[in-house]
Structure 1
Amino acid sequence: MIMLARAGRFALRELRGGLSGFFVFLALIALGVAAIAAVGSVSRAMTEGLAREGAVILGGDSAVTLVQRQATPEERAFLEGEGAVSEIASLRGMARRTDGADQALVEIKAVDGAYPLTGSLEVAPGGQSLDAAKPLQALADPELLTRLGLAVGDALDLGAARLTIAGTIVSEPDKLATGLGFGPRLLVTRAALDAAQLLQPGSLVQWSYRVRLAGDADPLAVSKRATEQFPEAGWQIRTRDDASPGLRRNIDQFTQYLTLVGLAALIVGGVGVANAVGSFIDMKRPVIATLRALGASSRFVVAVYFMQIMALAAIGVVIGLAIGAVVPLLAVRLLADVLPVGAETGFYPAELAIAALFGLMTALTFALVPLGRIRDVQPAALFRDIGAGLPARIRWPYLAAAILSAALTAGLAVFFAYDRRIALMFVVAIAGAFLLLRLVGWLVMRGARMAPRARSTEWRFAIGNIHRPGALTASVVLSLGLGLTLLVAIALIDGSLRRQLTGAMPDNGPSFFFLDVPSAEQARFTDFLAEEVPGGTIESVPMLRGRIVSVAGVRAADLKPAPDQAWVLQGDRGVTFSATLPRNSRLVAGEWWLADYSGEPLVSLESRVAEGLGVSLGDSIEVNVLGRPVTAKVANLRQVDWESLAINFVMVFSPNAFAGAPYTVLTTLAYPGGGDPAREATLMKDAGRAFPAITAVRVREALDRVSDILGQLMLAIRIASSVAVAASVLVLAGALAAGHRRRLHDAVILKTLGATRRQLVSAFSLEYGLIGLATAIFGVLAGSLAAYGVVAGVMKQSFYFAAASAVGAAVAAVVVTVVLGLAGTWRLLGQKAAPVLRNL
C-alpha cells in the first residue's frame, strides 16, 4: 500500500505537466463512451415513453384483434363486462377522385362513436372531427390530399360511397399500434364503411376491440380470463404494458446496432490508446531509466504509469459521459416530430455506468501491452540511441492480463446485448479482423523487406520505412483497416438491398396485385383484365388469413424459432389452398397431394421456414382461420422463388382443408413485354370504376415505398457508423503523429546529407500510399465478405457487389492516409537541423 501511495504521488506530479500528446487518446475514449451513453439514454427514454404512453399507443388498456371476422355476441359481451369497448375495422382500399382522374391506395380505419378511448385525435385547424350525424364523412392524411389534388370540403369515392373530406389528421393516438401501412390513412365512420360495400365474405379486414378496463383491473388477468373462456377464438390480445411489440423490438434491435457501433468506435480507439501509450512511454524512456538507476523497482515504475494512463482514461470517460448525457436532451427536442413516441430524457445512471465501464475496460485492455514493456527498460537506455525504442518483448503476465481484460469486455458486450447471438458474431468478427489486420501488417512489412532494391532513392526510402524497426505500418493498417471494412460493408449491404427491391424486378414479373376480389366476381374480373390487357399474364389464387397456433403440439408462444424465421409466428399470415404445385416453387421433400385428395387436411411449408421452426414431414400445424382451428399434417416442403414476385405463400393447404369457407381471390397481372406508367394508370382508373370494391396495388409503388423506408434506415445507419469511421481517422492521425518524432530526425539527417524537400515529400507520399493501398485492398475484401455474410447469411437475400462503392471507399482510404501523413510531415520538413543534431 505504501508503494502504491508513493506511485500515486509520482503519477500526479508528472500529470501536472499537462496533457500534451494525449488529446487523441482523450478524444477516442470520449467519442466511444459518448456514443454508447447517448444511444443507451435515448433508447431508455423511448422505452420509458412506450411504457408511459402504453394505453394511448394501444388505444386502451387491452386490445383484442381478430382477422376476417367480428367478435361473436358472447365475445363482445365478455369484453363489455370488463370495461368500455371501442370497435375498429382496418383494411386497404382505393380512394378515387369523383371525376375518375386519379386514385390512390389507402389504409382505411373505420371507427365507432367511442373512439378514441384513450388519447385524443387531433384535426388540423379548419377541419372538423367525424360526426355520427354526418356518417358519409372522412378524415384524411395530408399526403392523400396532396396525391389526389384535393382539399378539405372536397368529395372522394371509396368503394360504392361518396364521402366528404371533413379535415386532415394531425395526430392519431393509436397509430403505432396499427403498424406499417402501404398508403396514407383514411379515417371513416362504421356507417361510411358499410356504405362503401367493401366488407364482403372473406375480405381481408382486421377487427380490433380496444378495452378501457374498469377501476384498477389488471390487463394481464383479463387477457388470461379471455383466453381461458374462449380458447378457440383465435384472437390476439395485447396489453398496455406491451402496446407496440414491433416498435419495442425495433428500438431494441436498433439500439443494439448503435451500441455495437459505439463499441466498435471504442475498440478502434483502443488501437489509438495503445499507440498513444506506446509513444508516451517511449518519450519517457529517459525518465524510466533514471528511476530505475535511482533504485526504483520495475513494479513501482509500472504502477506510476498505469495510474497516469487510467487517470487520463477516466478524464476521457467523464468527457464522454457529459457529452452522452447532453446529446439525448438536444436530440429529443430536435427530433420530437419524427420520433415514434414521446421521449422525455432524463439522467439514466445505469446506461451511463455501462458506457463508463466499456470505456475503462477498453483503455485497460489496450494499455496493458505497452505498459508491459516498461519492466525491461534498463538504466543503460540513458546512453542508447534515440531510435532504439521500447523493448519488443512483452512479459507473459501483462499479455495474459490484456487477453483476460479483452475477454471480459467481449463478455460484457454479449451480456448487455438484446440479441446475444448477433453480439457474439460481432465480437468474433472484431477479434478476427484484429488478427487478420495484424497478419496483413506483418505481410506488408515482410513484402517490403523482401522487395528487390529499387533504383529510385525515393522508392528505396519509402520501402525501407515500411519495414524498419518502429515502422508505422502495423498501426496504420490496424487503425484504417477496421474503419474501412465497416464503411465498405455498409455500402455493399445498402446496394444489395436496394438492388433487391428495385433493380432486380423480373422482366415477366407482375405489375399489379389485386386484393379482395370476391370469389363470385373472379370470372368477370378476369375477363375484364383480359380485355383491357390483351396478351397479359393473369394469375388468381384463393386467399385467407390465418395465425399459427401450434406446431407439432407445441404452442406458438412456447416455440423457439430461428431468429430469421421468427416473423412467421408474429401475427397473421396469408394462406391459400391449391390442388397443384404453385408456379415458381419446387418440391425439396415429400410429395404433392392428388388433385382429388379428400383425406385429412395437408399443408405444404416453405423449406426455410420449416427449418427455422424445426418442422419435419409428418408433423402437425394448427392454424386459426376465421376463428376456427384447422389442424393439418405437413405433407411436403417447397423451395420458393420469391424474387419472381409471383403469387406464393408460406403455407399452401390441400383444397379440402377449407371446404365451404368464405374467401377472396388474389389476382396478379403482368403486361406482355412489361408495363409502363401511363398504361398502368389508365388500367387503375378503369378497374376502379368497374370494380370499386377491389384494391389495386402497383408493385413498383409498393417497392418504392419500401425503398424509401430502407433509404431512411440506411441513412441513419451511415450517420451512426460515422462514429466508428471518425474514430478510425483519429487513430490514423494519432498513429502518424506518434511517428513524427522519429520522422523529424530522419528528415533532418536526410536534408543534411543533401536530400531535397521534393524528394522527401515524394518518399513519404509513396510510403503512406503503399500502406494505404495494402489496407484498402484488405478493407474491400473483408468488407465484401462481411456484407455477403449479412445479406446472404443473415437476411437470406441475394448479394450484389457494387464495385463503384467498394473502389470509391478504397480510393478514399488511400487519399486520407496520404493527406494525413503529409499534413504532419510537411511541418517537419521546415525544421532547422542544428537543434535536432545537437541532441542526437
Structure 2
Amino acid sequence: MKHLTTIWRQARRSSRQALLFVLCVALALTTLTAFSGFARSIALALAKDARNLHAADIVVRSYAPVAPALTQAIDRLAAQGAVQVARIYELSSVVRATDESASLFSRLKVVEPGYPFYGQVSLASGRPFGQVLAPGTAIVEQTLLDRTGLRVGDALKVGYTTLTIVDGVIAEPDRPLELFAFGPRVFIHAADLKAMGLMATGSRIRRLVLLKVSVPTQVDAVAATLKQANPDDTTRIDTYLTARSAVKRFLDNFLFFLKLVGLFILIVAGLGIQSTLTALFNEKRTTIAVMKAVGAGGRFITVHFLLLIALLGAVGSGLGMASGVAVQFGLAGILAPFLPEGLQLSIAWRGIAEAVGLGAAVVILFSLLPLYRLKALRPVQIFNRQRQEAASRWPGILFGLVTFCFFLVLVLWHMRDIRFGITFVGAIAAMILAAAGLAQLALGTIRRLPIRHLALRQAVRGLFRRGNATRAVLITLTVSLTVIFGDLLIERNLNATFVRSFPDDMPDAYFIDIQRGQTEAFVSLVGRSVAFYPIVRARVMAINGAVIDHGRESRQRRDNLARVFNLTYRETLLDDETLIQGDSLFRSDWDEPQVSVMDTVLDMRPMRIGDRIRFSIQGVPLTARIASIRTRGNRALSPFFYFVFPTAVLEKAPQTLFAALKVPTGELGRLQNRIVARLPNISVIDMSQTLGTLARLMSRLARILRLFSLFSIAAGILILISAVFATRNERMLESVYYKILGAGQRFVLSVFALENLIIGLLGGSLALCMAQAGAWWICVEKFDIAYRPFVPLSLALIAVTTLLTIAVGLFASRSIMAKKPVVFLREQQNG
C-alpha cells in the first residue's frame, strides 16, 4: 500500500509528464477502440441484416445469359417447391419524356414478381411494392422527376416502349452502393423487358436470379446443388452469408483503409509514449539516483516504474476507450451516406476488449527501451551533474527490429495478406528511416553552421542541450506531416487533372451500346464524322495454360483478372499510345491469333511477348498470343483498351460500338434527346456530371483521411510538449543565465521562439520533400497523370506547420520564461 502511495505521489509531482503519457496512451486506445469497435460493429450489423441486403437466400450473378444447365436446375427446384425464384435484369439507358423535351441517363432494374423476398422497397406512397409495380408501369426515384419535370401519372419512354410512372422509390433493400451513381433508379416489370428492346447482343446487362429457399436449413445444400449444375465459372452463386454486396465491398475496403490509418497512428502514438516516458524518467533522475544510493536494485526500480506505467496506462486506457466509442459513433455519422438505410450499429465489446489488449501490448513494447536505459543511470553522474556516458546503439537497433516484427504480425493479423502486409510495414519503416536520416542530416548541418546572430546561435545550441528530444520530435512531425501533405497534394492533382483542367480536346460525352447497323444513323444525327470503337466483352480464363482462379482474384484489393474486360480490334495505335515491347502492334510472321496488351495488365499478372492468353467470349474460347505491349500518355480520360486484337480475329464476335465526342457547351442535352428519340438503345454518359461526382467523392474521402491524420499530428504535439518538459531544468537554467547577464524577457522569448521555428521549418520542409516525392510517384506511376507541385500551397503548409510548432513550444515554455532568477537560485541552493 505504501508502495502504491509513493507511486501516486511521484505521478502527482511529475504531473505534466504523467499527463502527457496518459494522453499518448489515450490517443493509441482511441484509435484502436474506434477502428476495431467500428469494424466489428459493422460486421455484426451486416451479418444480422444479410438476407435483407441481398433480398434472397441465394443469389446467382452473371453478365452473360445464365447457362441452360443452371437454368434447368433452378427450374427443377422451383417445380419441386424447394425454392421461389425472381429474375432481375440491371442495365443503364436513357429514359425520356414522350414529347422528347427531356431525357436522362438512368439505371433500370427489371424485376419479376416476388422481388424482394426479404426486406422491402419503400415507396413514396407507402403502398406495397408488389401491388404497385405492374406491366406497363414504372416506379422512379424523385431525382428523375425533379430533373425531367415529370410527375406521377405521366408517361415515360424507356427504349422502344412507353410506361406510366405510378410511384416514387425511396429505398430498396439490395440497392448496390454506387459511389459513381450515374443516374436515378427506375423499376420496371419483367413483362415489359422484351418491348423495351434493350437486350441487344453485346450490351452490358447484369443478370441476377434471386432464390428463396423453402426450408431455411437447406440454403447451403441448395447452393451446392446449383454450383454442381453450373458449367460456367464466371457465373457466381452465393448464399446471403457468402455473397459480397456492393455495401460489403465498399465497407470492407474502407475498413481496410481505416486499419492502415489506425496502424500508422498507432506507430506514431507509440513513439509518443516512448518519448514522454523518456522525458518522465529524465525528470526522475535525482529520484532514481537516490533510490540506487540507498541500496535499491535494478529489479526494484524496474518494478517500481512498471507499476507507475501501469497506473498511468490504466487511466489513459479508460480515457481512450471512452473517446474511442464516441469516435466510433462519429464514424457511423460520417459514413451514413454509404450505409444501408436502417442499419443499426451497437457497441462491439469484443472489439473494445481486443483494442485494450493490443493497447497494453503497445504500451509495454514502447516502454521497454526507456526502462532498459534506467540501468545506465549512476548516482555519481547525477550528484556531480556530469554528462551521462554515451549509450550503446545496439539496444535501440534491437528494439527497432522487435517493433518491426510486432507491427508486421499485427498487419498480417488484420489484413491476412502476407505480401501486402510486408509491403505496408516496409513502406512505413522506410518512411520513418528516411525521416530519421533526413532529420539527422539537417540537424548535423545546422550544428556546423557559423551563426553570428546571438539569439539564433543560442536557439541552435538549445536544439542539442542535454536530454533533448529534438530528433524524436522532428521524426514524428515529419512522418505525420508527410501523410497529410501527400494526401492533400494527391487530391489536388487528381482534382486538377480530372475536374478543373479538363483538356479542351478531350471528349466530354460517351455514347455506348451502339449497334453495328446504327452507325450511319448516328453519324447523321451528330452531323460530323465519328470514330467508333468496337467493344467485345470477355473474361480472361488462363495464361500459358494456368487457369485463372476468379474467386481468388476477385478478393484482391486492386484491379485484377477476375473482372469482365472490354476487348477491341484495330490495326493501328491510338494517338496517345506507344509500344514499349515489340516492333509493331501485330507480327506478320505469326499465323495464330494475336493480342496487344496494355502495360497496366502486367501489374495484375506478369506477362511477356509470346505468352498465350485464353479468353472466353460469351462462352466461346479464344486463345491469343501476345505480340506487343503498349503504354499510354497522360490522357487519363481518353478511350483506351487493355486488350487489342487484329480486325480479322474479332470482327464477327458479338459486339457493341462506343463513341467519344467533344460536344459544344449546352448542346449535349439537345443531342441526347435527338439520338435517343431515334435510337433509344444508345446510352449517353455526360462526363461533366461524372467528374462532379468524382470531385465530391474525393473531397469526402480526403476529409476523412485528414481527420484521422490529425491524430498523428496530436501525437507529434504531445512529443513536442514532452521535449520541453524533459529539458525543463536545462531550459530554466539557460533562461536564468540570460537574465543574470542582462538579457530581457524579449530576448529569452526570441531564443525559445527561434528554437521552435527551426523545428517547425525543418519538420515542414522535410515532410514536404517526402510528400512531394511520394505524391509524384503515385500520380505519375500509378495514376498515369501529369504532376503539379502546387508551390503556393506547399509554402503555405510549411508556414502553418511552423506557426503551430512555435505556438505549442512557447505555450509549453511559458512557466519557464516567467521564472525569476532569484527564485530559481534559492530553490537550487535549498535543494
- Asked if these proteins are the same fold (TM beyond 0.5), I'd say yes
Question: Which residue is equivalent to 1:732?
Answer: 720
User: Given that residues 603 and 636 in structure 1 are in contact (C-alpha distance below 8 angstroms), is that contact kept between their aligned partners in structure 2?
Assistant: yes
Q: Of 461, 465, 488, which aligns to 1:464?
A: 461
Alpha-carbon deviations, 1:168-211, whole Å to 9, x = none? 21111111288854222111112344333323343332222112
User: Residues of 1 paired with 2:701 and 2:515: CA distance?
Assistant: 37
Rounded Cα–Cα distance in structure 2 between residues aligned with 1:658 and 1:30: 62
Partner residue, 2:657: 665
Relative to structure 1, is the Cα distance of residues 433 and 71 closer, same or farther in structure 2, using a 3 angstrom cutoff?
Answer: closer
| Post-superposition offset of 1:758 | 1.6
Shift, 1:822, TM fit = 1.8
Matches within 5 A, 1:239-318: 239-244=239-244, 247-318=247-318
CA 1:398–1:548 in 2, change beyond 3 Å: closer, same or farther?
closer
Aligned residues: 822
CA-CA distance at 1:86 after TM superposition: 0.9
How many Å apart are 1:109 and its aligned residue? Answer: 0.9
TM-score by length of 1: 0.89
- Give distance in 2, aligned partners of 1:449 and 1:313: 37
Is contact 2:576-2:635 (8 Å) kept? no
Q: Secondary structure at the match of 1:175?
A: coil
User: CA shift at 1:559, angstroms?
Assistant: 8.8
Please point out which of 477, 484, 496 is paired with 2:481.
484
Distance 2:364 2:234 in 1: 55
CA contact (8 A) 2:55 2:117 kept: yes
1:24 has 2:12 as partner = no
* Cα contact 2:570–2:646 (8 A) shared by 1: yes
- 1:541 touches 1:666 (CA, 8 Å); kept in 2? yes
Q: What SS does structure 1 have at the residue aligned with 2:628?
A: strand
1:401-550 equivalences in 2 (<5 Å):
403-454=401-452, 456-503=453-500, 505-529=502-526, 531=527, 534=528, 538-550=530-542
Structure 1 residues 359 and 223: alpha-carbon distance in aligned structure 2, compared to 1, 3 A threshold: same
Displacement, 1:490? 1.0
- Please report how far the alpha carbon of residue 750 of structure 1 lies from its aligned counterpart in structure 2 after TM superposition: 1.6
Provide the residue aligned with 1:162 in structure 2. 162
The verdict on how the C-alpha distance between 1:794 and 1:32 changes in structure 2, with shifts beyond 3 A counting, is farther
1:811 counterpart = 2:802: no
- Counterpart among 67, 73, 81 of residue 78 in structure 1: 73
Query: Which has the higher mean CA deviation after the structures are superposed, 125-134 or 367-376?
Result: 125-134
Does 2:627 align with 1:625? Answer: no
Q: Tell me the distance in 1 between the aligned counterparts of 2:160 and 2:257.
A: 48
Q: Which residue of 2 aligns with 1:567?
A: 559
* Separation in 2, partners of 1:644, 1:307: 59
The 8 Å contact of residues 109 and 188 in structure 2, kept in 1 or not, is answered as yes
Looking at structure 2, the residues matched to 576 and 699 of structure 1 have their Cα atoms a distance apart, in angstroms, of: 22
- After TM superposition, give the deviation of residue 15 of structure 1 in Å: 4.8
Q: Is the 8 A contact 1:777 1:810 kept in 2?
A: yes
Give the SS at the match of 1:108. strand
Q: Which residue of 2 aligns with 1:238?
A: 238
Cα pair distance change 1:793/1:250, threshold 3 Å: farther
Q: What is the match of residue 320 of structure 2?
A: 320
1:105 maps to which residue? 105
Name the SS for the 1:101 alignment partner.
Answer: coil
Tell me the SS of whatever aligns to 2:415: coil
> What do the CA deviations read for 1:331-388 (whole angstroms, capped 9, x no partner)?
5478656424765444545533443344333333433333333223333355334xx5
Moved more, 324-333 or 498-507: 324-333
Match for residue 137 of structure 2?
137
| Contact in 1 for aligned 2:247/2:339 (Cα 8 Å) | no
Paired residues of 2:132 and 2:166 also in contact (CA < 8 A): no
Give me the whole-angstrom Cα distance separating, in 1, the residues matched to 2:450 and 2:26: 44
Match of 2:761 in 1: 773
1:700 alignment counterpart:
688
Unaligned stretches of 5+ in structure 1?
A: none
Instruction: Give me the whole-angstrom Cα distance separating, in 1, the residues matched to 2:556 and 2:793.
Output: 27
SS of the aligned residue for 1:145 comes to helix
Structure 2: give runs of 5+ residues left out of the alignment. Answer: 78-82
Equivalent position SS for 1:100? coil
Paired position in structure 2 for 1:576 = 568
Any residues of structure 2 matched to 1:134-213 within 5 Å, and which?
134-176=134-176, 181-213=181-213
1:690 and 2:678 correspond: yes
Q: Which amino acid aligns with 2:804?
A: V
> 2:442, 2:202 → 1: CA distance?
67
1:770 CA displacement: 1.8
CA shift in 2, pair 1:260/1:25, >3 Å: farther
Once structures 1 and 2 are overlaid, which stretch shifts more, 792-801 or 302-311? 792-801
Distance 2:219 2:592 in 1: 39
Residues 29/747 of structure 1: CA separation in 2 closer, same or farther (3 Å cut): same
Find the aligned partners of 1:153 and 1:723 in 2 and give their Cα distance: 53
1:393 to 391, 394, 399: 391
| Segment drifting more, 632-641 vs 99-108 | 632-641
SS of the aligned residue for 2:733 comes to helix
Q: State the 1:96 CA deviation.
A: 2.1
Q: Is the 8 A contact 2:544 2:611 kept in 1?
A: yes
- C-alpha distance in structure 2 between counterparts of 1:324 and 1:742, whole Å: 37
Task: Give yes or no for contact 1:96–1:102 (8 Å, CA) kept in 2.
Answer: yes
**Closer/same/farther in 2, CA of residues 654 and 131 from structure 1, 3 Å limit:** farther
CA–CA distance in 2 between the matches of 1:263 and 1:645? Answer: 35
Equivalent residue number for residue 749 of structure 1: 737
Kept in 2: contact 1:584–1:644 (CA 8 A): no
Q: Decide whether the 8 Å contact of 1:361 with 1:405 is kept in 2.
A: no
Task: Assess if the C-alpha contact under 8 Å between 2:28 and 2:270 holds in 1.
Answer: no
Q: How many angstroms apart in 2 are the aligned matches of 1:222 and 1:583?
A: 52
1:801 pairs with 2:799? no
In structure 2, relative to structure 1, the CA distance for the partners of 1:568 and 1:421 (3 Å cut) is: closer
Aligned-partner Cα distance in 2 for 1:642–1:248:
33
Distance 1:826 1:16, change over 3 A: closer
Alignment identity in percent?
25
**Equivalent position amino acid for 1:520 in 2:** G
Go from structure 1 to structure 2 and tell me whether the alpha carbon gap of 1:92 and 1:156 turns closer, same or farther (over 3 Å shift). Answer: same
Within a 5 Å distance, the mapping from 1:588-667 to structure 2 comes to 588-590=580-582, 591-593=584-586, 600-610=592-602, 612-641=604-633, 643=635, 645-658=637-650, 660-667=652-659
